[in-house]
Amino acid sequence: MVDIKQKVDFLARKFVPSHRFLRTQESTIDRSHILQTALNPASIKVLNWNIAKKSYHENWVRDFLIILEQYQPDLIFLQEFRLDIDAKNIVELVNMSWIFAPNFIDAHHQSYSGILTAAKISPLHKRAIITKHYEPIIKTPKVSLMAEYPLSHNPNSLLTVNSHLINFVNLHKFKTQLHELELALSTHQGPIIFSGDFNTWNRQRALLLYKVATRLGLMPVSFTPHHSKKIKRFLLSPPLDYIFYRGLKEHKTNARVLEHITSSDHKPLLAEFSYINT
């Protein structure tokens, strides 16, 4: 029987040239657009979506612009976003501030790949967290992006974490990334939104994620059964995509999964929160 590692190495040599996927020294790339000075604590609308590297596809652009117009999110968390190396701005986000955290450069397409957080305001602070371990075949890390935003008439700030958790590795490496994120989140005293594609395609991974969420006092957004079953899964696995929160009030009737969107194999998740300083 052929060893699994030998199979992976063979596929890597055959289909993925070693010079194509390059590690990047960039921590974050960002653009600021001052639309307002703080988030409205009475209504914070959130969009989370793994777009499967479709950011330059016509169908995705159309879907994204429709979502922006119809739901007007205040915070946007996108995973698997492509950004051209020479891009000066993102047309679809011309009226928002955005931060992009790359995890590698695709030399063939001359683009970065990574995660993007956008908001109607500029962040107070930002930080990219790169995994210590790498996914097989293309041998690239995963990245999470922390961004802190002011809340109108409140001394506390909102910490957001946009994450894409490591895949195709053993449970120890998955747990290592979660542990590093938990340490980063644990120092924040105010409200938190922890969102992304967590690659929780089996019970063990999902259990580790929920243990971290519980220790941090985070709750998952409550989707109705109809919406919940539309969230990306592998066969009968737990959901892959989540929006967790703490220190906020969820507007449960506004939580939805946009099942009609087909430009990515992941469906967009929408939620709305309010914050009352106590």
Prediction pTM value = 0.89
Position 38 in a domain:
yes
Task: Give me 227's structure tokens.
Answer: 């919406």
Position 1 in a domain:
no
CATH number at residue 209: 3.60.10.10
Position 2 in a domain:
no
Provide the residue range defining the domain that includes 96.
Answer: 20-274
H-helix segments, the chain: 4-15, 58-71, 171-186, 203-216, 225-228
Q: pLDDT at residue 124 above 80? A: yes
Position 113 in a domain:
yes
Measure Cα distances from 35 to 191, 271, 276 in Å: 22, 21, 23
pLDDT in tens, 237-271: 999 999 999 999 999 999 999 999 999 999 999 99
Domain count, the chain: 1
Measure Cα distances from 109 to 6, 37, 84, 105, 123 in Å: 28, 36, 8, 9, 30
- Res 7: pLDDT: 42
Position 174 in a domain:
yes
How much is the mean pLDDT over the chain? 88
Among 79, 101, 138, 129, residue whose Cα is nearest residue 24: 101
pLDDT band at 109 (very low <50, low <70, confident <90, very high): low
Amino acid at 178: L
SS3 91: helix
